[in-house]
């Protein structure tokens, strides 16, 4: 069957073209704020971020950046735009933003919300609800706010001042009371208080242990990674042995090894079971660790902790190799080579973390699934006890800050609806606008000249200086000049190529000028067939084909969105205005917009 014309009225169609925004769990309008950075409007860029992701300064240093692997630039040349670090440019260079922040209304709405945990998910809920007149109590067992942001992310990656600043913007709204140092030991008891709804954002606080021989005997020098990191963050631990082995291949392992290097570890190694490529850690975190002289050894499965006289002496490993079965599933099979022993003074175990809900009673109408996780609706974040909502790592296991923020926004919408007796399943649609960027015959309201620059590296503090103090921030961040140059690499994918079939005279001008051969005029057909016979076959099936109505000759216009540079040349060369460049804005509706008409 021939393809139907693309329904560009569906907000998802153009949203998907903005790969970064689509990939961001909080749907941050990335190109929009990058343009503000290029224009030197750092404050505006910051506020765009603040609205979407609440913690621009924190995320600009620590985000797991799902946007970057999605970035179209990475398909056009080698590397994506450094979106994450541009966010930091906005945070570093902004003016005082306090006047632009919302504040709680003088009259409260009479509803009280408890948030369990003072991490990113709870703080997002508080930020979204406080301006609506809610009274919000945020509980945390620790004496300080921000949850894992403060406890697990090392100071050399994220200075405390940035955390204090951005948590401060939230508490300054008003009606938010941080009840720190008060661990909730019973949900039942909390439910018995007069809260209208409870949000659980208590994270995934339990680090997985490694139960192999020698664990008990050598316990004194074997540490659980996330606990050790938080002890370092809170100033309880200042030193580690000279020789350190970090077990595990995720981002926590990378934080552990780099922290160890700063606390006296001279010979620090990361040893992982899997292959180097399959490690869970983000590529840039591995790169940063190796830059600090930390080798990563792979295909070694820990077998036993060795010890003498109650003191850890090292770890024995079995060497394995990846073997694939017929279905392509991987198994790690011992190679039969002799076991390898690595000596060390300390071991940091960073092999994963888990949720823990010993404080949630099982007789309060809150159902748990077979993995002993609470049953949470993936859209509304409501549990089976309608008054209790979950978000962040507490909802679906360990993810990262940006996911916690996205969960927080959605849970806040649900809570707001729930306490007002509305259906939580009824979600507000996003606000979508398309505005032509045409200023003159060949002038556009955006900079359509495509920069050919390759990705800029973020300048670092000299390694010798960085490794001396765990509190010295290792990344200097882009300065304004580098930030501008990097911002210019953005392709402005939110400035959409919008086609109007009735205006087209099929002159081929757009086809001839398109640098990426995105546009084809041809007979309609089935998608597979059509993809194969475009001027440049559309091999990337994750990217849409933009298909027009039938034109005068009976043909259709088919545009492969995959590698479009959004340079606007199709629209510049179009004699009839059948192509136009239109800026797409998608405003994800948050709870704080419930009462507003826009």
* Torsion angle defined by CA atoms of residues 99, 104, 106 and 110, in that order, rounded to the nearest 10 degrees: 180
For residue 152 the two structure tokens come to: 């697990």
Q: Which C-beta is closer to another protein: that of 301 or that of 569?
A: 569
Q: Please list, residue by residue across 342-371, b when 16 or more beta carbons sit within 10 angstroms of its beta carbon and e when fewer do.
A: bebbbbbbbbbbebebebbeeebebeeeee
Q: Please list, residue by residue across 507-530, b when 16 or more beta carbons sit within 10 angstroms of its beta carbon and e when fewer do.
A: eebbbeebeeebbbbeebbeeeeb
- When binding is defined by CB under 8 A, the residue of 507, 525, 550, 594 that contacts another protein is 507
Helix (H, G, I), strand (E, B) or coil at 321: strand
Number of residues that bind another protein (CB under 8 A): 35
Asked if 513 interacts with another protein (CB under 8 A), we say: yes
DSSP H helices, 251-339, are 251-262, 283-291
Measured distance CA(64)–CA(461) in Å, rounded: 22
Residue 158 CB, nearest distance to another protein (Å)?
Answer: 35
* Residue 445: burial class (beta carbons within 10 Å; 0-12, 13-18, 19+): middle
Cα-only R_g, the chain: 26
Residue 162 CB, nearest distance to another protein (Å)?
Answer: 36
- When binding is defined by CB under 8 A, the residue of 380, 414, 448, 492 that contacts another protein is 448
Asked if 69 interacts with another protein (CB under 8 A), we say: no
Q: Which C-beta is closer to another protein: that of 62 or that of 448?
A: 448
- When binding is defined by CB under 8 A, the residue of 508, 529, 532, 533 that contacts another protein is 508
Is residue 401 within 8 A of residue 58, CB to CB? The reply is yes
DSSP H helices, 106-155, are 120-129, 148-151
Q: Which C-beta is closer to another protein: that of 76 or that of 97?
A: 76
Asked if 455 interacts with another protein (CB under 8 A), we say: no
Asked if 76 interacts with another protein (CB under 8 A), we say: yes
Asked if 224 interacts with another protein (CB under 8 A), we say: no
Q: Which C-beta is closer to another protein: that of 566 or that of 583?
A: 566
Residue 441 CB, nearest distance to another protein (Å)?
Answer: 8
Binders of another protein among 525-564, rule CB under 8 A?
536-537, 539, 552-553, 563
Is residue 513 within 8 A of residue 569, CB to CB? The reply is yes
- When binding is defined by CB under 8 A, the residue of 449, 469, 479, 529 that contacts another protein is 449
Residue 272 CB neighbour total at 10 angstroms:
25
Which residue stretch of 6-14, 176-184, 398-406, 509-517 sits at the interface with another protein (rule: CB under 8 A)?
Answer: 509-517
Which residue bears the tokens 């005279």? 505
- When binding is defined by CB under 8 A, the residue of 177, 479, 512, 529 that contacts another protein is 512
H/E run at residue 316: strand 311-324
Residue 504 CB, nearest distance to another protein (Å)?
Answer: 10
Which residue stretch of 31-39, 40-48, 138-146, 501-509 sits at the interface with another protein (rule: CB under 8 A)?
Answer: 501-509
Residue 553 CB, nearest distance to another protein (Å)?
Answer: 6
Q: Which residues contact 420 (CB under 8 A, 6 or more apart)?
A: none
Measured distance CA(294)–CA(261) in Å, rounded: 8
Asked if 565 interacts with another protein (CB under 8 A), we say: yes
- When binding is defined by CB under 8 A, the residue of 450, 519, 581, 591 that contacts another protein is 450
Q: Which C-beta is closer to another protein: that of 103 or that of 539?
A: 539
* Torsion angle defined by CA atoms of residues 421, 422, 423 and 427, in that order, rounded to the nearest 10 degrees: -150
Asked if 574 interacts with another protein (CB under 8 A), we say: yes
- When binding is defined by CB under 8 A, the residue of 280, 399, 573, 594 that contacts another protein is 573
Q: Which residues bind another protein (CB under 8 A)?
A: 75-77, 442-443, 448-450, 452, 505-509, 511-513, 515-518, 536-537, 539, 552-553, 563, 565, 567, 569, 572-576
């Amino acid at each position: 069957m021939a393809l139907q014309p693309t329904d560009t009225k569906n907000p998802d169609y153009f949203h998907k073209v903005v790969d970064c925004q689509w990939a961001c769990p909080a749907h941050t309008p990335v190109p929009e704020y990058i343009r503000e950075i290029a224009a030197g409007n750092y404050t505006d860029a910051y506020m765009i971020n603040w609205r979407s992701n609440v913690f621009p300064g924190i995320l600009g240093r620590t985000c797991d950046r799902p946007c970057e692997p999605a970035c179209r630039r990475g398909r056009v040349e080698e590397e994506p735009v450094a979106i994450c670090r541009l966010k930091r440019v906005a945070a570093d260079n902004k003016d005082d933003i306090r006047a632009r922040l919302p504040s709680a209304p003088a009259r409260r709405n009479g509803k009280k919300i408890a948030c369990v945990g003072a991490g990113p998910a709870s703080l997002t809920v508080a930020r979204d609800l406080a301006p609506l007149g809610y009274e919000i109590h945020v509980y945390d067992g620790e004496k300080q706010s921000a949850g894992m942001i403060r406890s697990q992310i090392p100071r050399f990656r994220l200075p405390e001042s940035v955390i204090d600043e951005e948590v401060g913007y939230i508490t300054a709204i008003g009606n938010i009371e941080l009840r720190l140092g008060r661990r909730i030991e019973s949900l039942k008891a909390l439910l018995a208080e007069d809260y209208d709804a409870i949000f659980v954002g208590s994270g995934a606080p339990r680090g997985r242990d490694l139960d192999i021989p020698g664990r008990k005997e050598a316990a004194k020098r074997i540490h659980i990674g996330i606990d050790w990191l938080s002890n370092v963050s809170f100033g309880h631990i200042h030193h580690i042995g000279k020789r350190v082995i970090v077990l595990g291949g995720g981002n926590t392992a990378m934080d552990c090894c780099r922290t160890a290097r700063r606390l006296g570890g001279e010979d620090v190694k990361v040893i992982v079971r899997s292959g180097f490529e399959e490690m869970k850690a983000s590529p840039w975190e591995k790169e940063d660790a190796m830059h600090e002289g930390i080798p990563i050894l792979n295909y070694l499965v820990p077998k036993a902790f060795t010890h003498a006289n109650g003191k850890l002496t090292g770890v024995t490993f079995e060497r394995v190799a990846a073997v694939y079965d017929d279905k392509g599933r991987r198994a790690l099979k011992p190679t039969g080579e002799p076991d390898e022993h690595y000596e060390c003074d300390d071991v940091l175990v960073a092999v994963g973390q888990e949720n823990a809900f010993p404080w949630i009673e099982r007789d309060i109408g809150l159902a748990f699934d077979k993995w002993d996780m609470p049953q949470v609706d993936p859209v509304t974040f409501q549990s089976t006890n309608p008054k209790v909502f979950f978000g962040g790592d507490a909802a679906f296991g360990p993810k990262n800050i940006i996911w916690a923020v996205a969960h927080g926004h959605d849970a806040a919408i649900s809570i707001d609806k729930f306490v007002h007796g509305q259906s939580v399943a009824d979600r507000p649609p996003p606000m979508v606008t398309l505005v032509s960027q045409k200023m003159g015959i060949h002038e556009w309201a955006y900079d359509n000249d495509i920069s050919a620059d390759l990705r800029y590296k973020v300048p670092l503090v000299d390694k010798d200086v960085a490794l001396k103090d765990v509190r010295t921030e290792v990344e200097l961040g882009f300065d304004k000049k580098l930030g501008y140059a990097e911002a210019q690499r953005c392709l402005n994918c939110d400035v959409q190529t919008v086609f109007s079939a009735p205006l087209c005279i099929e002159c081929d001008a757009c086809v001839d000028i398109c640098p990426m051969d995105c546009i084809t005029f041809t007979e309609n057909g089935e998608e597979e067939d059509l993809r194969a016979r475009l001027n440049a076959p559309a091999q990337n099936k994750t990217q849409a084909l933009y298909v027009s109505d039938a034109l005068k000759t009976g043909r259709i216009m088919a545009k492969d969105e995959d590698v479009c540079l959004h340079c606007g040349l199709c629209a510049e060369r179009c004699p009839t205005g059948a192509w136009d460049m239109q800026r797409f804005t998608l405003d994800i509706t948050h709870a704080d917009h419930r009462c507003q008409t826009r």
